[in-house]
Amino acid sequence: MVLVTVRLPQRATLEQAMRRLGLTEDEVDTAYGLVALDPVEGLYVLRVSEEAGARVPPSAGPFADPPIEPYGPPH
């Protein structure tokens, strides 16, 4: 999966983002949902399949989604 960004009105929904980007439910990680990066500016992010990410405008992504894990032994 990859991340893509979309500009939407404040308090947007995942369904609005999917419509704006022309995505189906099968192409989107609905458990990840729609995450507000900058709600004042209306900038949101969602996880999509690599194939779907390749179809979005270049300014929207796709962006890498590396796993976030602890580095080194626990203290």
Instruction: Give the tokens for residue 55.
Output: 């179809």
Q: What is residue 59's predicted lDDT score, i.e. its pLDDT? A: 79
Please give the Cα distance from 18 to 40 (Å, whole number): 20
Q: What is residue 19's predicted lDDT score, i.e. its pLDDT? A: 93
pLDDT digits (tens, 9 = 90+) for 39-74: 889 999 999 999 999 988 887 888 888 887 778 887
- Quick check: 11 pLDDT over 90? no
Which candidate, 69, 66, 63, 55, places its Cα nearest to that of 2? 63
